[in-house]
Amino acid sequence: MRPALTVLALTLGAGAPISATAQDARPAQSAPARPQSHQDREEERRQRAYRQFLDHVQAAFRARDREAVIASVRFPLRVNGEGGTTFVRTPAELRARFDRVFSADVVRATLAQDRDSIFSRDQGAMVGSGQMWFDRGCADAACTAYTPVRIIAINHMGRGAAR
């Protein structure tokens, strides 16, 4: 073979063996999907519960339904601010402090949170930069069942942080 033909043959073959058949050119079959583990299924359920809960709280804030927001809290509610940490122990106490606890920054971060981009970890899920955290709790000692998702902490992130 002359040198010019050798280059042409390598270019046309693109480095593939010349004996390749049409059968070899078929797309590869993808591997069968790995069955979901118990942990995968549980994480999927947890994320679905977080998305549904966020939808509920966002709707309550949009409707200015304080009672629906208060019903979404697990007491005592931890409130962190510049002055330290306090706990709101009852729904009545939260009613009296509602605007300070659920400040404009907390409400804004909650309403801006995309339901499909919720950050979560072992301690729960958060909105915004951590202004509000929520989680479900264990319903029994073995944690084989869960309580509904509830707001567990509020973090005020700057000047004018409520106490």
Question: Over pLDDT 90: what percentage of the chain?
Answer: 67
pLDDT score, position 99: 98
Amino acid type, 48: R
In a domain, 110, yes or no: yes
Q: How far apart are CA 155 and CA 106, in angstroms?
A: 8
**Residues 105-160 pLDDT 10s:** 999 999 999 999 999 998 999 999 999 999 999 999 998 899 999 999 999 987 54
> What ranges in 63-114 are assigned the alpha helix state H?
66-70, 91-101, 104-112
Contacts of 98 (CB under 8 A, 6+ apart): 66, 69, 70
In a domain, 136, yes or no: yes
User: Do 108 and 24 meet the contact criterion of CB atoms below 8 Å apart?
Assistant: no
In a domain, 82, yes or no: yes
Residue 135's CATH number? 3.10.450
Give me the number of domains the chain comprises: 1
